[in-house]
Structure 1
Amino acid sequence: MDCFLWKMIWISVGFWTVVFRILISVDAKTDASDVSALHVMYTSLNSPSKLTNWKSSGGDPCGDSWKGIKCSGSHVKEIKLSGLGLTGSLGYKLSSLTSLTYFDLSNNNLKDSIPYQLPPNVLHINLAGNSFTGTVPYSISQMLNLKYLNLGHNQLSGQLSDMFGHLTRLQFLDLSFNSLSGNLPQSFETLSSLSTLYLQNNKFTGSINVLTHLPIDDLNVANNQFTGWIPSELKNIDNIKTGGNQWSSEPAPPPPLGTFGAAQQKNPTKKSSKEEKGSKKSVLNGALIGGIVIGLLLALVILIVLLKRKSSSTSSHFLDEEKMNQKISLNPLVSNELSNDRSSEFSNNALKDFKDPKSLDSSFSINARSSQPYASIGLKPPPADRMKSFNDTELVNRINVKRNSSIHAVIYTLADLQSATGNFATARLLGEGSIGRVYRAKYPNGKVLAVKKIDSSHLQGISQEDLMEIISNISKMDHTNITELVGYCSEQGHNLLVYEYFRNGSLHEFLHLSDEYSKPLTWNTRVRIALGTARAIEYLHEKCSPSSVHKNIKSANILLDSELNPHLTDCGLATFHQRTSQNLGVGYNAPECTKPSAYTLKSDVYSFGVVMLELLTGRVPFDSSKPRVEQSLVRWATPKLHDIDTLDKMVDPALCGLYPPKSLSRFADVIALCVQSEPEFRPPMSEVVQSLMRIELSSMNKRGEDIGAFSSDE
């Protein structure tokens, strides 16, 4: 009987315990995911006693009236904790607060970066008056209902990403008193509801033209490094402050034809009658200035025509070749003259290039031995000096090569590139690859390009025709994630390729050479970089005809633009890598690549897998400073990719545990497939792209996932 009695007692205790827990859970008023997010936030704020009723575990924020918390039903709607002297950071689970609309922790002592995942549906964010570092989190771009954003008086730095394209409801934006730099993002012009904008006391550069047609009535851009002119439309704002910048003292140029009317339509109520009279006068002045400019241009064109006729007896065949070879920005008079010597198709193309703003290339500098001001209208001076370096046969060969290859790139003169790179000065050196050095070319108009100087040793046995064919193939590559070939130069034994330039440098620099103050790449950004690079390789492998093997895929050849989107460079240069005897990259080569000629499409897949490992771990592919078992990244990491515990430990510490565990696991699965030792088992890049697309979608959609720790169902 005693045993039976004890069993009944234990059963009774267990029953009432379960009932008690059920009653508690029924009585609780707050959604479980909201409670969990506030627990993490409280701990990250160093568990301050000022937050009465807050707890690091348990509790009921809505039912127990936690300080600063307001709820609607079972969800937290507002967090107001301004001016409480709070320290620490905000934690990593704010994205779980999906019903939060008001978020104010201004005027505290909060530090570290602003979390890259904020409450997704918030309308009001105020984090001003703290000590936040890093930059403005990109997740703000997804807050479609955001109306108020105040990040002023912090320590934010770096450039603003082009993240404002969907924030059409934003009315108030304060980024003042930080250290933000670079040009204002183009997406500012889409802020159609913006009435207040404070940017003062930063390091912004460039113009403020993107603000021209916004409905702003309170603007402060003082104490930056803005240049150019203050648009006349902004001068009509009642409350505007622009001092402490580098505005031009010269008269502002007239607006482009038709823009005056467009501006008036967008802001029809901004001008008073007095201003309208002034506007009419400015239009007349603009028309007068425009007439003078057009007259000068016509006179300059006539001068060019006369000079060309004068020199036609000695160099007409070379001039024709020049006209055909480069994508010159021609005016109608010049294109008509060319139609006498070329087919109507060429003349139409020249006229089309003139109309296309992208074809206007002002990078040509005036030849040091020429006094003719051709550069002022985008025309290249007659290459009388260049002509001496080629005989007639070579010229004919070059013309024929150009006709057959249809190179979609501009011809640069050697003198022009020498001038722009400081005669290829060491100070302009960006890096050195396996086939040559890359230099930074800067022009007086501010344009910056990257110039790759191909080492002559890699050109042995390659005819001029073959070289032009290679350049032609590169110039035809058209993909968002492939670096564009802007132009080339093949002159006096020098062969140079001119590419677009990215100020953020390479992925290698971001991952391995950044100092401790640089903001690390977030997990979502790393996935986006991997996906963009994979798409570029897929384009080379499966979209190009014939397929193109890259042969030099590594993080140093993945350049990052202002929004940290990847651009694969060195595409189409496999022929040169075929001729180099050196290793194409320690740690990147697939096992089968004992020599360059053994490289295949699947070898590219392996190299890409190594890049993904860099993104995952933050380690270089080969590190001789590590213990022997850890020197080769692939050998060290591969056995750990399918083990949850070891995978978590090998993640880049710079991520600080801020990543969705399931996304991380799937990312590791893709890596494991790519770095398999047998080429035939590696997937095609189209499959890699599809897998990464699913990972990116999962990372973006699963906002409520517990970031930083593996959940029980994983």
Structure 2
Amino acid sequence: MYRLGVLALLVTCIGTLTPWVHSKTNARDVSALNVMYSSMNSPSALTGWKSSGGDPCGESWKGIDCSGSSVTEINLSDLGLSGSMGYLLSSLTSVTNFDLSKNNLNGDIPYQLPPNALHIDLSSNAFTGNVPYSISQMTDLKYLNLGHNQLNGQLSDMFGKLPKLATLDLSYNSLSGNLPQSFGSLSSLTKLHLQNNQLTGPINVLTNLPLNHLNVANNQFTGWVPDALQDIDDIETEGNSWSSGPAPPSPPGASHAKKGSKEGDGKSGVSGLTIAGIVMGVLVVLAVLVALFSKRSSSASSHFLDEERASQRRAFTPLSSRELSHDLRAEMHKSFRAIDMDRKSVESSASVDIKALEKSPSIGFRPPLHDRMESLKDNEFANRLNARRSTSAMSYNLADLQSATGNFATGRLIGEGSTGRVYRAKYADGKVLAVKKIDSSLFQGRRADEFSEIVAKISMLHHQNIAELVGYCSEQRHNMLVYEYFRNGSLHEFLHLSDDYSKPLTWNTRVRIALGTARAVEYLHEVCSPSVVHKNIKSANILLDVELNPRLTDCGLATFHQRTSQNLGVGYNAPECTKPSAYTLKSDIYSFGVVMLELLTGRMPLDSSKPRSEQCLVRWASPQLHDIDALGRMVDPALRGLYPPKSVSRFADIIALCVQSEPEFRPPMSEVVEALVRLVQRSSMNKRGESPGASRRMDDFDY
């Protein structure tokens, strides 16, 4: 009987403890909430919350709801919270309801939010910056309210993959520019509030949406309110610059696409005869284009069309029929003849490049030779064709640039390097550009036309991981280059100038940055003909776009770099760079390896604040790159242990090859790209094959 009693007691205890065991919160959710709590200045209003550890689901933290061991809802509205939301929100993969409205939160909205959220409400705070681009990937999102904040700038064209979004509120901010075309893809949108912003242009993109509530009051919209929108029961349009007089007829099928056509009123706007005439006109123009294209090789034309589809950053302006003049047809004929010649020369140069690559030291894997050669041919051909289509940048007026930069005011300075200073130029329409003012001393003793040659060469560089040259200015002995502006700044700023809670980079983002930068350098080295040596690869010259994709800048400026061991970017110079003539493609490989070391360790290439033996990053790290235990101590502490050890080890192996002291042993950049791609592929396969009890370190790697 005694034994039976003990057994019964044990069963009772186990039954009592079981719910507690199951309520233990997912470790990644705990870490994300810990960071949130610290980022919001550890407010007393959040009872139960902790800055380290704890069990949100088991301990009933304020505003937290769970399902099993996963946090599913965060409701912290109207609690007087301040500070920011932290940087680990992307770890909250089970959160569907995220409400921090009516608080005093400030700064930019984090670039990553709970990725599977259905309901997000961040309204009535003091957020600045723009709508985070990560929202574009939330395909299940139904409700988004960012109203009553201080958001500014133009809306990105990021709404094309949100088919379930029913409510969107961006009211009472300072948003500017035209409505993005992707608004037209919001097929479930019934409520849209945009009032009290500075939005401009027409609102025709909203015509076919199933809206029941629309408020666009107090903006700077122009044009007319489409007829289809005037049928909405709840609509506010006052306080805009609408055109007076009768509106132009709607496009065929557009005016009543939403509500259905009205039969028998005799006012359809466009008759069947008119439509037939439009169709015939379009067919005639297409017939002329087809006739022109058919005279050239099918391979050339297909590449041209593929390149046009792939180039999402360039606006496509259709030719009108009167533009198809005799001179234009002659010019097109001449261009395609040159394109055919380009293809032949590309095939020849590609063959030579492949032979050179085969002699290079191998990392251990490469695509089949035929595939590699075809890829190189296609990339090179697309590059030359792209350059032929756009070989000149826009000329900017000096007075306009002076006005946009506040006469190059110190407050507009965003960077300074060996070739000059970079300023932020902001225009009245909200457009922001980066202006690189090249040091005038670099032009002493040079030809007057040398700057125009440099501009022409840079404007021929087109790659998704290279900062695009927008224009130039050459007036009154001022020589300037105008680039895209990237609000997120440089990799150097993310790694070395931000605190633990504002701009950290997860491991998978670091690998993606390394891979994108490697592809940019591969393009310069092995696709461009002749090869382009960068000579200034460093983290400060790797800019990050809204999705944290890398954009290499300062490409094509090597002519200004008189590289020696003294004036090369501190800590990035390869051992052989003792004089300018010694700098080669392999020297670029070394500098890229140093950038990879920065991504791995979070350290600067040269840091006098460290102990003497650790001041030079390469010298300190190189002997430890193949030591697993040492690697664990080298990894950037900002990662907080959230990384897959095998991926880190392979990453370190690639670094070791790049920073070898002998240039001839460093791999070509094409092999570095292949190694990084293979690293991603292996990590992805490993994650898919992990058991349910896999460590949280591998879970963080979400390729």
TM-score, normalisation: structure 1:
0.62
> Which range is displaced more, 225-234 or 529-538?
225-234
Query: Closer, same or farther in 2 for the Cα pair 1:56/1:128, shift >3 Å?
Result: closer
1:706 corresponds to 2:701: no
Structure 2: give runs of 5+ residues left out of the alignment.
1-9, 223-239, 272-314, 336-386
Whole-angstrom CA distance in 2 between matches of 1:164 and 1:439 = 29
Distance 2:167 2:580 in 1: 59
Please state if 1:194 is matched with 2:165: yes
Paired residues, what number?
556
The question of whether the paired residues in 1 share the 8 Å contact of 2:565 and 2:578 is answered with: no
Give the match for residue 488 of structure 1. 472
CA contact (8 A) 2:153 2:176 kept: yes
In the alignment, does 2:62 pair up with 1:85? yes
1:574 equivalent in alignment to 2:558: yes
2:189 partner amino acid = I
Q: Alignment partner of 1:453: what SS?
A: strand
Deviation at 1:628, TM superposition (A): 2.3
On the 8 A contact 1:335/1:347 being kept in 2, the answer is no
Alpha-carbon shift at residue 257 of structure 1 (Å) = 9.5
Q: Deviation digits for residues 355-391 of structure 1, max 9, x if unmatched?
A: xxxxxxxxxxxxxxxxxxxxxxxxxxxxxxxxxxxxx
Q: Matches of residues 512-527 of structure 1 in structure 2 within 5 Å? A: 512-514=496-498, 518-527=502-511
The reply to whether residue 590 of structure 1 matches residue 578 of structure 2 is no
Say whether the 8 Å CA contact 1:127–1:150 is kept in structure 2. yes
Cα RMSD (Å): 5.4
Q: Which residue of 2 aligns with 1:220?
A: 193
Matching residue of 1:345: 331
Q: Give the deviation of 1:595 after TM superposition.
A: 1.9
Q: Which residue in 2 is equivalent to 1:400?
A: none
CA contact (8 A) 1:115 1:137 kept: no
Structure 1 partner of 2:442: 458
Matching residue's letter, 2:134: M
Counterparts of 1:594 and 1:443 in 2: how far apart (Å)?
44
Contact kept in structure 1, 2:47 and 2:62, CA below 8 Å: no
For the residue of structure 2 that corresponds to 1:105, the secondary structure is strand
**Structure 1 residue corresponding to 2:212, chosen from 229, 238, 241:** 238
Q: Is residue 250 of structure 1 aligned with residue 236 of structure 2?
A: no
Q: How does 1:288-303 map to 2 (within 5 A)?
A: none
Instruction: Name 1:113's counterpart in structure 2.
Output: 86
Q: Structure 2 vs 1, CA of residues 409 and 581 (structure 1 numbering), >3 Å: closer, same or farther? A: farther
Deviation for aligned residue 1:622: 1.6
Q: How much does 1:422 deviate?
A: 5.5
Instruction: Find the residue that maps to 1:498 and give its secondary structure.
Output: strand
CA gap 1:344/1:505 in 2 versus in 1, 3 angstroms: same
Residue 607 of structure 1: CA displacement?
0.7
- Counterparts in 2 of 1:135 and 1:241: CA distance versus 1, 3 Å: same
- In 1, the alpha carbon distance for the partners of 2:86 and 2:202 equals 34
Deviations 1:547-567 (A, max 9, x none): 221111011211222222211
Question: In 1, are the aligned partners of 2:541 and 2:552 still within 8 Å (CA)?
Answer: yes
Task: Return the alpha-carbon distance in structure 2 between the equivalents of residues 204 and 559 of structure 1.
Answer: 24
**AA aligned opposite 1:220:** H
Whole-Å separation in 2 of the counterparts to 1:538 and 1:667? 18
Say yes or no: does 1:677 pair with 2:661. yes
Question: C-alpha distance in 2, partners of 1:707/1:255?
Answer: 63
Residue identity in the other structure for 2:408: A
Q: CA separation of 1:105/1:444 partners in 2, compared to 1, >3 Å: closer, same or farther?
A: closer
Q: How does 1:58-69 map to 2 (within 5 A)?
A: none
Give matches, 1:135-534, under 5 Å.
135-136=109-110, 138=112, 143=116, 147-150=118-121, 158-165=129-136, 167-176=138-147, 181-200=152-171, 204-209=175-180, 210-212=182-184, 214=186, 215-222=188-195, 226-227=199-200, 233=207, 237-242=211-216, 249-251=240-242, 260-261=251-252, 263-264=254-255, 268-269=258-259, 344-345=330-331, 408-410=391-393, 412=395, 415=398, 419=402, 425-427=408-410, 428-460=412-444, 462-463=446-447, 468-490=452-474, 493-514=477-498, 518-534=502-518
Select 1:689's aligned residue among 654, 668, 673: 673
CA-to-partner distance for each residue in 1:680-710, whole Å, 9 max, x for gaps? 2322212221232244455667387534599
Q: 1:545 aligns with which of 517, 521, 529?
A: 529
Distance 2:29 2:426 in 1: 52
Cα gap change, 1:618 to 1:56, in 2 (>3 Å):
closer
2:164 aligns to what SS in structure 1? coil
Distance 1:618 1:653 in 2: 8
SS in structure 2 of the partner of residue 486 of structure 1: strand
CA contact (8 A) 2:23 2:69 kept: no
Which has the larger displacement, 209-218 or 109-118? Answer: 109-118
Q: Could you tell me how far 1:123 is from its partner in structure 2? A: 8.4
Structure 2: distance between partners of 1:526 and 1:99: 29
Per-residue CA deviations over 1:291-312 (Å, capped at 9, x if unaligned) read: xxxxxxxxxxxxxxxxxxxxxx
Deviation at 1:200, TM superposition (A): 4.3
Q: How far apart, CA to CA, are the structure 1 residues paired with 2:611 and 2:246?
A: 64
Q: Which residue of 2 aligns with 1:12?
A: none
Matched-pair contact (CA < 8 Å) for 1:622–1:632: yes
The secondary structure found in structure 1 opposite 2:75 is coil
CA distance in 1, matches of 2:399, 2:653: 49
Residues 522-547 of structure 1: per-residue CA shift (max 9 Å, x gap): 33222222111111001111111222
2:280 — aligned with what?
A: none
SS at match of 1:188: coil
Separation in 2, partners of 1:421, 1:583: 32
Q: Which residue of 2 aligns with 1:75?
A: none
The secondary structure found in structure 2 opposite 1:690 is helix
Does the CA-based 8 Å contact 1:589-1:606 persist in structure 2? yes
Q: What is the alpha-carbon distance in structure 1 between the residues aligned to residue 459 and residue 137 of structure 2?
A: 33
What displacement does 1:259 show?
7.4
Deviates more, 1:527-536 or 1:30-39: 30-39
* One-letter amino acid matched to 1:706: S
Q: Which deviates more, 178-187 or 233-242?
A: 233-242
Q: Which has the larger displacement, 228-237 or 429-438?
A: 228-237
Cα offset, 1:483, TM superposition: 1.6
Tell me the TM-score normalized by structure 2.
0.63
Shift of the alpha carbon at 1:191? 1.9
CA contact (8 A) 1:116 1:137 kept: no
Pair 1:151–1:675, CA change in 2 (3 A): same
Match for 2:584 among 597, 600, 605?
600
Alpha-carbon distance change, 259 to 106 in structure 1, aligned in 2, over 3 angstroms: farther
Identical positions, percent: 49
The structure with the larger Rg is 1
Of residues 629, 635, 648, the one that matches 1:651 is 635
Secondary structure class of the residue paired with 1:187? coil
Deviation at 1:617, TM superposition (A): 2.7
Give a deviation string over 1:394-422, Cα, whole Å, max 9, x none. Answer: xxxxxxxxxx9997113526545655556
| Aligned partners of 2:25 and 2:58 also within 8 Å | no
Letter in 2 for 1:85: K
Pair 107,168 (structure 1): closer, same or farther in 2 beyond 3 Å:
closer
Bigger Cα displacement from structure 2, 190-199 vs 536-545: 190-199
Alpha-carbon contact 2:515-2:673 (below 8 Å) kept: yes
Unaligned runs of 5+ in 1: 1-19, 69-80, 285-326, 350-403
Distance 1:137 1:240 in 2: 28
Correspondence for 2:73: 104
Corresponding letter in the other structure for 2:213: N
Deviation at 1:263, TM superposition (A): 4.7
Measured at CA, do residues 263 and 508 of structure 1 come closer, stay the same or move farther in structure 2, by a change above 3 Å?
farther
